Amino acid sequence: MYLQGVGEMNSIKRENGFTLIEIMVVIIIIGILATIIIPKLTTSTINARRKADIATAHEVKAALDRYQIENGLYPKIAELTVNAGTVTCSILIPKYIVKLDKLTTQQLVPEGNKGFGVAALSANVADPTQFSIPNTSPVANLIMIYLTVDGLAAEVRAYDEGLDDVLWTSAN
C-alpha cells in the first residue's frame, strides 16, 4: 500500500510540468508563424506608406484644381520655389493646401528625395493643347508637381521608393 501511494505521487508530479519535447514543439510553431507573419507585416507597411503618398498626391492635385477654378489658370512654374523637398508658393499655400514639405511624404527614401519636387510640362508641338513631361526632366522627389510656364496645365505624380515607377498620376 505504501508503494502504491509513492507511484501516485510520481504520476502527479509528471503532470504538472512540460517536457523538453513539448517546449521545442511550441518554439518551432512560433518560429514558423513568425516566418509567415513578419514578411506580410513588412509588405503591408510598405503598401500603407505608398497609399499615404498617393492620397497626398490626390490632395495636391485637388488644391491645384481649386486654384485653377478660382483664378482661371494653374500657378505658373516660376511661382513655386522648391528647397530640400519643401515647396513654397504664397498664392497656393496655405489658402489651397496647408503645406508641401518633406515631412508630408511617408515612403522610406534618402533624405534628399523626401517631399515634393517641381518640374516643367511641355506642350506638344503638333497639338499645343496636349502636354507631356520631357524625358530630360529628372524625378527628384516622391511627389512631383509638373506645371507649365504659362499656367495652362498641371499634373501630379506619386513615385515609388526607387523613384522608378509611377504609383499614381493625375493624368489618368
Question: What's the confidence (pLDDT) of residue 162?
Answer: 85
**How many domains, in total, are found in the chain?**
1
Q: b or e along 20-51 (b: 16 or more beta carbons within 10 Å of the residue's beta carbon)?
A: eeeeeeeeeeeeeeeeeeeeeeeeeeeeebbe
Q: Which of 165, 167, 151 is nearest to 76 (CA)?
A: 151
What number is the average pLDDT over the span 72-95? 88
Question: What's the confidence (pLDDT) of residue 157?
Answer: 92
pLDDT band at 9 (very low <50, low <70, confident <90, very high): low
pTM here is 0.71
| Domain enclosing residue 109, as ranges | 2-169
